[in-house]
């Protein structure tokens, strides 16, 4: 058991506030706070080792590099929320990107159409996964692990003898290598801040009008200013390099969409219910198999989208697209940033934060020219540590439960 | 009561809210229920007691529509009805709270109360499938207040953080959102402490005072005597006895449960030990 006890209403003064923060940290309720501390520590460490780490160009490259992983992770979050796992996201991203590349380069299909085909292929694979899992009650890790082998095989088949296809069309490459001009970047950021503030105030006013409890205005102001500061810092940094990357806006919009879906809609509520207690969800009249199938479809579609972004960044698709540690990174990111491996807890934003954490470690080690052996050992250790922390917070939460 | 027409109250004036006649159910060679009659009135708490394997759960599952019985007829407000699925039971206004409560620990009280029937926001929110959290929270607070549940301070707290009694209160409150007339409670006080048991019993009395028919399955005779108006005893799949709680001692009920007075016709409350 943790040393501190929950003291409802006892959080007074600075000491009380610190204790409350400590308790939230210990129980994994602080959300992004712990992750932000982690990012700060990682960045400080690498900055001391190599002062180019926090340079605008390196940070911008970090974003371009992690866009694909973050996108795949958004889909992984959905699947983790159900308490399931999809081990085929890496292979699906590789296969989808390969199909897209072959269609564009070898068959002369319009790039937009080819991207749509790739996404459709992802959705179809997800439908297959969901069908096998719900109809035959096969554990998801078995279906997706076996599937991933098959998808890699299809990828080799599709790519044919050359094995590598270079992309040259403006649409796919432009996804990664388009930067908004400084002014447009500022407009985007100001709009984002205004929207955040507006919706927060609107929600607060609605609750107040309905006679419900509302949080303190100070707390809201603090949260909004923190978000605004982060946005402004971001735009200041990227504008010193090439500008706000388009791909960053895309990934952010995708995360926002999934955050809305999971936290504000009825379907999202049902995802959490199935992940928390599937039997309770079933008795409440939720069609849990439909929820599962749709989520696996979304998960694989995001994997395909991640594959498209990865090929855009690399400007090519090859036989190793979607392989190596991509799968593990895509799953580990959200878990590091607070999404539970056991279902029912997590947010779409953890996909982005997790990608930043993992990307920073990988990027920093590359800058310091670490040997591959060290990189593998460090990455593995970080992943184990993240999962351990997650398990510990879960145990604390259950320990706190009053019986 | 054998002279009363099917589905009719003892007075012959007002039909029972819910009554069952001659319910039988076999699992292979095992006869779980044999010709069991059962009835509950509006504004009445009926305790269903019996030893393990007496058929309590089978009977409740038949009423809840979870498990079909082989024989027997159901009457709702005197009208013959069929209950062949949980949806049938729900549409008649029969709600069941199972022992495992079926709550999602990772969701807050409001989300659990409205699970599967979330309200949509109006206007632009409707087309965006937006959940109307404000209205849901308001009516959750009203619902808990109307049930005199004062132990739940924060309806935005996750159910996993609540005590056993609070969880039971959430489960019971949820069953009431569908405006039922009959509520079946499976072991509502099992595994609860003294104070929490008292809270749940208070809640059951509140339900009765609101005019609902309440059926409580319980092993705990102390709680049964504290809350029930009528006690129906099942033994070996048959209805062994029924008592008005005011005219019976605990020994009589125990005798009926265990069959200690074997040979005496104890399906008659007037016969005392």
Instruction: Say if A279 is an interface residue toward chain B (CB within 8 Å).
Output: yes
Report the length, in residues, of chain A.
403
Interface test with A, best of B101, B106, B134, B194 (most A CBs within 10 A): B106
- Closest of B62, B35, B59 to residue B48, by C-alpha: B59
Cα–Cα distances (Å) from A46 to A41, A49, A94, A281, A368, in that order, read 9, 5, 31, 46, 8
Residues of B in contact with A215 (CB under 8 A): none
> Is A272 close to B106, i.e. CB distance below 8 A?
yes
The model's pTM: 0.87
Average pLDDT of the residues in A19-48: 77
Residue A376 resides in a domain = yes
Residue B101 resides in a domain = yes
Residue A21 resides in a domain = no
In this model, does residue B269 exceed pLDDT 50? no
Residue B182 resides in a domain = yes
> Is A265 close to B106, i.e. CB distance below 8 A?
no
What angle, rounded to 10 degrees, do the helices at A266-276 and A288-314 form? 100
Q: Report how far residue A313's alpha carbon sits from residue A113's, in angstroms, rounded to the nearest whole number.
A: 19
Q: Which domain CATH number covers A289?
A: 1.10.3470
Q: Give the N- to C-terminal CA distance of chain B in Å, as an integer.
A: 21
Residues 112-171 of B with CB under 8 A from A: 115-118, 120, 128-131, 134-135, 137-138, 141, 160-164
Residue A221 resides in a domain = no
Q: Report how far residue A165's alpha carbon sits from residue A239's, in angstroms, rounded to the nearest whole number.
A: 33
Q: What is the residue whose two structure tokens read 């509950």?
A: B40
Q: What pLDDT shows up at residue A3?
A: 37
Least reliable range by pLDDT among A58-62, A288-292, B194-198, B260-264 = B260-264
What is the residue range of A330's domain? 31-181+243-397
CA distance B163 to chain A (A): 5
Q: What's the order of all strands across the beta sheet hosting B213-217? A: B94-97, B182-186, B213-217, B44-50, B230-235, B238-244
Nearest to A283 among B102, B118, B130 (CB): B102
3-state SS class at A10: coil
Percent share of chain B, pLDDT over 90: 36
Q: Which of A289 and A372 is assigned the larger pLDDT?
A: A289
Interface test with A, best of B104, B121, B152, B186 (most A CBs within 10 A): B104
Q: Report how far residue B261's alpha carbon sits from residue B273's, in angstroms, rounded to the nearest whole number.
A: 8
Residue B213 resides in a domain = yes
Which residues lie closer than 8 Å to B89 by C-beta, 6 or more apart? B63, B64, B65, B83, B96
> Is B104 close to A397, i.e. CB distance below 8 A?
no
Residue A238 resides in a domain = no
β-bridge partners, B213: B44, B182
- State the pairing for strand pair B18-27/B30-40: antiparallel
Instruction: Say if A287 is an interface residue toward chain B (CB within 8 Å).
Output: no
Quickly count: other Cβ atoms within 10 Å of residue B48's Cβ: 28
H/E stretch holding A88 reads none
What angle, rounded to 10 degrees, do the helices at A326-336 and A56-81 form? 80
- State the pairing for strand pair B71-76/B44-50: unpaired
β-bridge partners, A166: A316
Least reliable range by pLDDT among A27-31, B47-51, B152-156, B236-240 = A27-31
Quickly count: other Cβ atoms within 10 Å of residue A255's Cβ: 22
In this model, does residue A60 exceed pLDDT 60? yes
Nearest to A266 among B131, B161, B164 (CB): B131
Q: Give the N- to C-terminal CA distance of chain A in Å, as an integer.
A: 15
Average pLDDT of the residues in A282-297: 93
**Dmax (CA) of chain A:** 69
Q: What pLDDT shows up at residue A27?
A: 58
Sequence-ordered strand ranges (E) for chain B? 18-27, 30-40, 44-50, 71-76, 79-81, 94-97, 182-186, 213-217, 230-235, 238-244
Q: How many CB pairs under 8 A join A and B?
A: 87
Which residues lie closer than 8 Å to B153 by C-beta, 6 or more apart? none
Specify the DSSP class assigned to residue A186.
H
Percent share of chain B, pLDDT over 70: 90
CA distance B81 to chain A (A): 22
In this model, does residue A392 exceed pLDDT 50? yes
Residue of B nearest to A284 (CA): B116
Over residues A311-360, the pLDDT tens digits come to 999 999 999 998 878 998 899 899 888 898 889 999 999 999 999 999 99
Structure tokens at A67: 């866009």
Cβ(B103)–Cβ(B170) below 8 Å = yes
- State the pairing for strand pair B230-235/B44-50: parallel
- Closest of B264, A264, B67, B51 to residue B59, by C-alpha: B67
Q: Which domain CATH number covers B194?
A: 3.40.50.300
Cα–Cα distances (Å) from A113 to A117, A126, A145, A171, A297, in that order, read 6, 20, 29, 11, 19
CA distance B48 to chain A (A): 23
Residue A236 resides in a domain = no
Residue of B nearest to A397 (CA): B161
Cβ(B44)–Cβ(B230) below 8 Å = yes
Residues of B in contact with A343 (CB under 8 A): 106
- Closest of A24, A73, A82 to residue A272, by C-alpha: A82
Q: Across all residues in chain A, what is the average pLDDT?
A: 89
Percent share of chain A, pLDDT over 70: 91
What is the residue range of B187's domain? 23-108+164-258
> Is A277 close to B134, i.e. CB distance below 8 A?
no
Instruction: Say if B103 is an interface residue toward chain A (CB within 8 Å).
Output: yes
Which residues lie closer than 8 Å to B260 by C-beta, 6 or more apart? B254
Average pLDDT of the residues in A13-28: 65
Cα torsion angle, B87, B91, B94, B98, sign:
positive
Average pLDDT of the residues in B152-171: 89
Q: What is the residue whose two structure tokens read 């279902």?
A: A343
Over residues A27-41, the pLDDT tens digits come to 555 557 778 888 999
Quickly count: other Cβ atoms within 10 Å of residue B95's Cβ: 22
Number of independent structural domains in chain B: 1
Q: What pLDDT shows up at residue B149?
A: 85
Cβ(A96)–Cβ(A118) below 8 Å = yes
Number of independent structural domains in chain A: 1
ipTM, interface predicted TM-score of the complex: 0.85
Residue A126 resides in a domain = yes
Residue A88 resides in a domain = yes
In this model, does residue B264 exceed pLDDT 70? no
């Amino acid at each position: 058991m943790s040393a501190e006890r929950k003291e409802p209403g006892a959080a007074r003064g600075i000491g009380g506030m610190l204790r409350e923060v400590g308790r939230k940290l210990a129980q994994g309720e602080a959300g992004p706070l712990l992750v932000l501390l982690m990012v700060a520590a990682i960045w400080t460490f690498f900055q001391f080792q190599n002062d180019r780490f926090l340079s605008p160009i390196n940070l911008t490259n970090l974003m371009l590099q992690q866009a694909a992983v973050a996108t795949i992770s958004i889909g992984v979050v959905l699947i983790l929320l159900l308490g399931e796992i999809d081990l085929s996201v890496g292979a699906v991203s590789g296969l989808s990107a390969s199909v897209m590349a072959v269609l564009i380069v070898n068959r002369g299909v319009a790039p937009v159409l080819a991207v749509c085909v790739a996404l459709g292929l992802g959705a179809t694979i997800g439908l297959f996964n969901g069908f096998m899992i719900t109809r035959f009650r096969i554990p998801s890790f078995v279906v997706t692990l076996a599937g991933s082998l098959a998808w890699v095989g299809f990828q080799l088949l599709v790519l044919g003898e050359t094995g590598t296809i270079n992309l040259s069309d403006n649409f796919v490459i432009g996804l990664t290598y388009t930067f908004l001009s400084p002014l447009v970047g500022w407009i985007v950021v100001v709009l984002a801040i205004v929207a955040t503030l507006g919706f927060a105030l609107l929600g607060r006013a609605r609750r107040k009008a309905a006679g419900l409890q509302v949080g303190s205005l100070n707390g809201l102001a603090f949260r909004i200013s923190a978000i605004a500061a982060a946005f402004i810092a971001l735009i200041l940094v990227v504008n010193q390099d090439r500008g706000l990357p388009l791909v960053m806006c895309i990934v952010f919009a995708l995360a926002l969409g999934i955050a809305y879906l999971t936290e504000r809609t009825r379907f999202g509520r049902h995802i959490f219910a199935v992940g928390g207690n599937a039997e309770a969800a079933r008795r409440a009249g939720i069609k849990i198999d439909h929820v599962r199938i749709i989520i696996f479809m979304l998960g694989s579609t995001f994997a395909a989208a991640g594959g498209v972004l990865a090929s855009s960044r690399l400007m090519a698709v090859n036989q190793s697209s979607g392989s190596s540690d991509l799968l593990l990174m895509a799953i580990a990111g959200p878990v590091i940033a607070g999404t539970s491996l056991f279902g029912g807890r997590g947010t779409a934003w953890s996909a982005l934060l997790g990608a930043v954490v993992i990307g920073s470690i990988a990027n920093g080690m590359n800058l310091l020219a670490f040997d591959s052996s060290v990189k593998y050992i460090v990455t593995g250790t970080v992943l184990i540590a993240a999962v351990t922390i997650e398990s510990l917070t879960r145990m604390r939460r259950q320990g706190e439960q009053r019986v | 009561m054998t002279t009363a027409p099917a589905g009719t109250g003892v007075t012959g004036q007002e039909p029972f809210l819910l009554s069952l006649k001659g319910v039988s159910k076999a699992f292979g060679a095992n006869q779980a229920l044999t010709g069991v009659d059962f009835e509950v009135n509006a504004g009445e708490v009926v305790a269903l007691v019996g030893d393990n394997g007496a058929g309590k759960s089978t009977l409740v599952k038949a009423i809840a529509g979870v498990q079909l019985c082989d024989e027997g007829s159901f009457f709702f407000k005197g009208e013959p009805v069929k209950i062949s699925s949980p949806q049938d039971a729900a549409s008649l206004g029969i709600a069941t709270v199972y022992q495992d409560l079926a709550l999602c620990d990772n969701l807050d009280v409001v989300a659990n109360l409205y699970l599967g029937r979330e309200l949509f926001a109006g206007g632009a929110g409707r087309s965006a499938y937006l959940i109307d959290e404000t209205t849901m929270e308001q009516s959750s607070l009203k619902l808990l207040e109307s049930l005199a549940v004062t132990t739940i301070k924060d309806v935005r707290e996750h159910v996993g953080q609540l005590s056993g009694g609070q969880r039971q209160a959430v489960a019971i409150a949820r069953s009431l959102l569908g405006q039922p007339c009959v509520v079946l409670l499976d072991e509502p006080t099992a595994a609860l402490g003294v104070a929490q048991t008292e809270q749940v019993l208070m809640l059951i009395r509140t339900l009765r005072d609101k005019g609902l028919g309440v059926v409580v399955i319980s092993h705990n005779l102390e709680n049964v005597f504290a809350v029930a108006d009528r006690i129906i005893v099942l033994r070996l799949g048959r209805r062994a006895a029924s008592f008005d709680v005011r005219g019976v001692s605990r020994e009589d009920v125990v005798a009926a449960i265990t069959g200690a007075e074997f040979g005496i016709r104890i399906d008659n409350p007037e016969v005392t030990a």
